[in-house]
Amino acid sequence: MTLYLVGLGLYDAKDITLRGLEAVKSCDTIYLEHYTSILAQDKESLEKLYEKEVQIASRDMVEKEAEEKLILPAKEKNVALLIVGDVFGATTHTDLLVRAKEAGVNVEVIFNASILNAIGIVGLELYKYGKTTSIVFPDDNWLPETPYEVIKNNKSLGLHTLCLLDIKVAEPTKEDLIRQARGEQVTAAPPRYMTVNQGLAVLKQIEEKRQDGIITDDMQVIGVARLGQPDYVIKSGTLKEILEFDFGSPLHCLIIPGKLHHIEEEALL
């Protein structure tokens, strides 16, 4: 019996690897992690391909109920957790792997493409990226300055910075779960996906406070949208220019280049 951690890739149901598909078809229970990223298709498309039911796994379930829902059941049957992108794009899944192994559960990891390697299509050398960071929505005057610090440190070394942009998926409250159990209709708040433009606005807001001259209107930035999908967009320009550009539907990410090699400069033209 096995706990399968399966990367799904970046676009749709067909991005799963053949080995991943074979594993999923062997499973008795299948969960789709639905909070660190999203696919361009809904879970019904996955169910049609797998010919099996797929259950949505919330952050709370994966982080707080993993033993009950994932780890212990995998001692008696095959269980799969499907993860958009690659399995280890989020630390949550590393923690799950460690906990499962400590519990004596057999774990099989099936890798796939993620933003961390697909970003190579932009034309910047993957070896020249520094620490990756995340930009989050400001919340009740709480605005973490971590991305600013990461960009500052990476730029000091001539390294590029990949900024992942926030996804807010409303978790059901206890009251919602009670109402669902009663068969009542519960309307969840729609998810929010940060745009390139919003991410840049957050960086400018931090700059106004810090005044270190790291984020300026004339600095070069690169906005990326829907990487891995047929209609992906890559747009390079000054921060002021990119702020005015419409990148369309999610998911978006942002790159702050470091020192550019001439081949990288040509790739961005």
Q: Where are the alpha helices (DSSP H) in the chain?
A: 18-25, 43-50, 59-64, 66, 91-102, 115-118, 146-156, 174-181, 196-210, 239-243, 262-267
- Predicted model pTM: 0.90
Dist. CA 70–CA 100, nearest whole Å = 9
46-55, 92-101, 102-111, 158-167: which has the minimum mean pLDDT?
Answer: 92-101
Task: Provide the pLDDT for residue 170.
Answer: 67
- Mean pLDDT along residues 212-236: 97
Q: Which residues touch 133 (CB under 8 Å, ≥6 apart)?
A: 146, 147, 150, 151, 161, 162, 163, 164
In 103-190, where does DSSP find H-type helix? 115-118, 146-156, 174-181
Task: Look at residue 191 and give its three-state secondary structure.
Answer: coil
What is the CATH topology of the domain spanning 116-267?
A: 3.30.950
* Lowest-pLDDT choice from 81-95, 194-208, 239-253: 81-95
- Average pLDDT of every residue of the chain: 92
pLDDT at 37: 83
Domain segments of the chain as ranges: 3-113, 116-267
Q: Residue 78: in which H helix or E strand, if any?
A: none
Q: How confident is the model at residue 119 (pLDDT cuts 50, 70, 90)?
A: very high
Q: What is the CATH number of domain 3-113?
A: 3.40.1010.10
With cut-offs at 50, 70 and 90, classify the pLDDT of residue 102: very high
